[in-house]
Amino acid sequence: MKTNKLIKIGVLTGLAAAWPSLLLAGDGEALYTANNTWMLVATFLVFLMHLGFASLEAGMTRAKNTVNILYKNTAIIAIGLLTYAVVGFNLMYPGDFALGAWLGFAGFGIGVGPEDLKIIDDGVGVYTYWTDFIFQAMFAATAATIVSGAVAERIKLHSFLIFTTIYVALVYPWLGSWQWGGGWLDGMGFYDFAGSTLVHSVGGWAALAGVIVLGPRLGKYVGGGIRPIPGHNMPLATIGVFLLWLGWFGFNGGSVLSADPAMVSYVFVTTALAAAAGVVAAMLVSWLVTGKPDLTMALNGALAGLVGITAGADVVSVSGAVIIGLIAGLLVVFSILLLDRLKLDDPVGAISVHLTCGVWGTLAVGIFAAEYSLLVQLLGVVAYGVAAFVAALAIFLTLKVTMGIRVSEEEERRGLDITEHGMEAYSGFEMNPSS
């Protein structure tokens, strides 16, 4: 998703709508239209993923916190779009870097009218500046959405929203510039096609930091044992996963950055097969380990496969994609079980899906794609892990000592819908405080 080659063709005030026909003729104009249209369709699909995240998180948590989950996911996409427009886009794609290709900034804001239209030529496709911005803006909020699920049911709303604003506005785009913006890791040959590390692990490290600072939900770990706290709506969780799977075709397919029929269709195939393999592996492993066919493990297996393939969907073989998905499905099960043993309470399995499998998918590029170095991929994983975790931990700890980040025990027992929002998701039903 590297798009740092920005070419401003010209400024024709009042004639911007006519630029494509002036700049491109014949087959070139058709290619421009096809590329631009496909990237906008991919943008719609990535936007749909936020409904998938909201549905999955709501279904996997208790009924008394549903409004809170939906509120956070609504706020996240709004915060992500606005902060990316104000600062994130030009921080992620600064054009020129200072400090040894570690940090750059092209200024606040984006173009504000048709006269600021630019044609983006990244060597693959040709499309508008606005399409480039809106496609990548949809990615920006995803990192915070990952955190939302992991810290669900016990974090103060205003503290979470402040964390989201800082992390999405500054940390995510700054780290993204290291590779997609042409920074130091890009120069070393690090590769992450659509964000196994740049999006998913960056969100996963922040989720891990949040879980550590917050602590587990009340009653989760009692007497040295692990008490399951099941989600209240498995149909909703399942719908969420299928929406995410659908949206992932835009997430990965749009990252081709053109409507190249061969490459887009190939990425669709590797994406779908890795997800399917993740489901099968998680089904079999969890069934063998727990003795029951666990739906939540199967659902997380699909997401594990999708996260795993995201770094190399365009460069690994079809058989490699299947193997990546199978291993991701296996890893997510054992990661969820291990985190529980470590008393790291993640209600939806977000850390295991996005961090564990994001790391695996990034390393898999160096294993299954001969042109990329495993050592460089490992360096990228470590660099992103240290920076993302430390940044998130610093933000959470600062919020904890200044305004607090966890609701009171009474508020947690009653549920955040009533105590934070003064409303219920399922009005008219008698609610059990433990549900």
Instruction: Give pLDDT, residue 4.
Output: 37
Q: Is the pLDDT of residue 7 over 50?
A: no
pTM reported for the whole predicted model: 0.90
Alpha carbons 327 and 60: distance in angstroms, whole number: 24
Alpha carbons 135 and 127: distance in angstroms, whole number: 11
Largest CA distance in the chain: 73
Q: Is the pLDDT of residue 10 over 90?
A: no
Alpha carbons 432 and 413: distance in angstroms, whole number: 10
Alpha carbons 239 and 247: distance in angstroms, whole number: 12
Express each pLDDT in 66-114 by its tens digit: 999 999 999 999 999 999 999 999 999 998 887 778 998 888 998 766 5
Instruction: Give pLDDT, residue 223.
Output: 84
Could you tell me the pLDDT band of residue 17, with boundaries at 50, 70 and 90? very low
Express each pLDDT in 46-71 by its tens digit: 999 999 999 999 999 999 999 999 99
Q: Which residues contact 404 (CB under 8 A, 6 or more apart)?
A: 156, 159
Structural element, H or E, at residue 121: strand 119-121
Alpha carbons 160 and 172: distance in angstroms, whole number: 16
Token pair of 306 as six digits: 């999708």
Could you tell me the pLDDT band of residue 30, with boundaries at 50, 70 and 90? confident
Closest to 204 in 3D by CA, of 325, 380, 359, 61: 359
Token pair of 101 as six digits: 């290709």
Angle at 344 between CA 343 and CA 348, to 5 degrees: 125
Instruction: Give pLDDT, residue 125.
Output: 62
Q: How many residues would you count in the chain?
A: 435
Instruction: Give pLDDT, residue 337.
Output: 96
Instruction: Give pLDDT, residue 106.
Output: 85
Top-confidence residue, 96 or 394:
394
Per the CATH hierarchy, to which homologous superfamily does domain 6-421 belong?
A: Ammonium transporter AmtB like domains (1.10.3430.10)
Could you tell me the pLDDT band of residue 124, with boundaries at 50, 70 and 90? low
Q: How many CA atoms lie within 13 A of 17 on its CB side?
A: 1
Instruction: Give pLDDT, residue 142.
Output: 83
Ranges of each domain in the chain: 6-421
| Mean local confidence (pLDDT), 17-31 | 53
Express each pLDDT in 339-365 by its tens digit: 999 999 999 999 999 999 999 999 999
Phi, then psi, of 128 in degrees rounded to 5 = -85, 160
Token pair of 164 as six digits: 């989201």
Instruction: Give pLDDT, residue 5.
Output: 35
Closest to 330 in 3D by CA, of 279, 370, 372: 279
Instruction: Give pLDDT, residue 111.
Output: 77
Phi, then psi, of 427 in degrees rounded to 5 = -65, 140
